[in-house]
Amino acid sequence: MKTAQCPALFISAMASGQGKTTITAGLARHFRNQGLNVRVFKTGPDYLDPLILEQAAGSPAEQLDLWMMGESLCQQYLFDAAQTADLILIEGVMGLYDGNPSGADLAEFFGIPVVAIISAPKMAQTVGALALGLKSYRPSLPFAGIIANTLGSDRHCDLVAESMPEDIPLLATLRRSEDMVLPERHLGLVRPHEIADYDQKLDKVAKLLGETELKTLPNPLIFKEPENQDEFTAAKTNSLKGLTIGIAKDEAFSFIYPANVRFLEAAGAELHYFSPMHDKQIPEVDCLWLPGGYPELHLETLSKNQPMIDALHEFYQSEKTLLAECGGMLYLQESLTTLSGETWPMVGIVSGRGYMREKGGCQGMQTAVLPEGDVRGHAHHRSRSEDQSEPIAFGRRISHPAPGEPIYRTKGLTTSYMHLYFPSNSSAIIDLFSR
């Protein structure tokens, strides 16, 4: 069995909103600025954080999730990264022990030391108690230390330092600063390409972290090559060779797992990208995939692109395969209403009216129960959809007994709020696109 050595850290926190992405990105940029090759991963289903991590590291960012991907594929990604990288950074999801499997499960499975962030603008010595709890809750978990974030003063930093148990390193005390804040919107952080000075922001975070105990590389770890070395073996044995697939990709539609694209390419499909916002026609293809994104930010442009709407109607009537996920589904319905109450007509291929909302929606891992087979994925949205037709099935949650997201099918169209991870069931995805 082949092995590769590389230092690695798992960046987690006591909860969401503690600064995981900012600090992971800042560390990646710090070591990149030292001339090192940094590979970054994001635990769980996320499209926005990987864009920021990729911008910071200057290298591709991938998902790493035991449930959605499986142990072997996670192991393959880490082994591949360790062969060329000087450092591997993995950003966790929510709190360290949240979820099943949790970030702690992933870190322990691969023996990667955990750095836990505690945002403490309104506490002092209690940070030490929280640190002790995070470490001792699972004694078998490799634990590198604590980052205390959003502190108010030098005295605040001193109080936190005095509270720490002797066997838990305090790796950094970070003062509350605008330099440590990345822009946000609903569903997550703002994408880097939307902000002109994003690199300068990352460099400022990197400079602050470079002044802490995190400035040096941790000890290298050994990563093993999995027995199954080909992540897309099933894709190659169930070929899509000769099939052409159009993929919507622009400012409104961008929630695309890189692994999904690699899967389709490995299966032999020929991919063509197009923009529902700017193009007047769709490519000459056998299938279409409309992923999620932010259509609600571009409703006027989408609504007024009548040639594209006409082309989608024609494609739908041909009964060719069309997969629409979350924002792609909302785009194909009758209308979408903003938070301010402004309603714009959408494509109108299928029944249903979407409404954006301040809170609520859905977030979590689910299995899409398709006629072709079960495909794992997730749902994450701040909208509701009403007056749809009868669903053919519902998503299945990991442990909660309540039905997940409804799944709809009419003619060749399959729609749902769910985002699918194609490699989780190669044969089902092959059948979906080739039916």
The tens place of each residue's pLDDT in the chain, 435 residues long, gives 899 999 999 999 999 889 999 999 999 999 999 999 999 999 987 778 888 899 999 998 989 999 999 999 999 999 999 999 999 999 999 999 998 899 999 999 999 999 999 999 999 999 999 999 999 999 999 999 999 999 999 999 999 999 999 999 999 999 887 765 665 544 455 655 666 578 888 999 999 999 999 999 999 999 999 887 565 665 666 689 999 999 999 999 999 999 999 999 989 999 999 999 999 999 999 999 999 999 999 999 999 999 999 999 999 999 999 999 999 999 999 999 998 999 999 999 999 999 998 765 566 889 999 999 999 999 887 788 888 889 999 999 888 888 889 999 999 999 999 999 999 998 899 999 987
Domains and CATH numbers, the chain: 3-224 (3.40.50.300), 233-434 (3.40.50.880)
Check if 6 is active-site.
no
Instruction: Identify the three-state secondary structure at position 182.
Output: coil
* Backbone region of residue 150 per phi and psi (left: phi > 0; alpha: psi in -120 to 50; beta: other values): left
**179 DSSP 8-state letter:** G
Of the candidates 157, 287, 326, 362, the residue annotated as catalytic is 326
Instruction: Give strand pairing partners of 353.
Output: 335, 386
Q: pLDDT at position 181, please?
A: 64
Alpha carbons 78 and 11: distance in angstroms, whole number: 15
Q: pLDDT at position 185, please?
A: 46
Please report which helix (H) or strand (E) contains residue 18, including its range. Answer: none
Contacts of 271 (CB under 8 A, 6+ apart): 244, 245, 246, 247, 261, 264, 265
Q: Count other Cβ atoms within 10 Å, centred on residue 281.
A: 12
Q: Nearest-5° angle of CA 291, CA 294, CA 300?
A: 115
Put simply, whether the predicted model's pTM sits higher than 0.85 gets the answer yes
- What tokens were used for 85? 């990288």
Instruction: Give strand pairing partners of 106.
Output: none
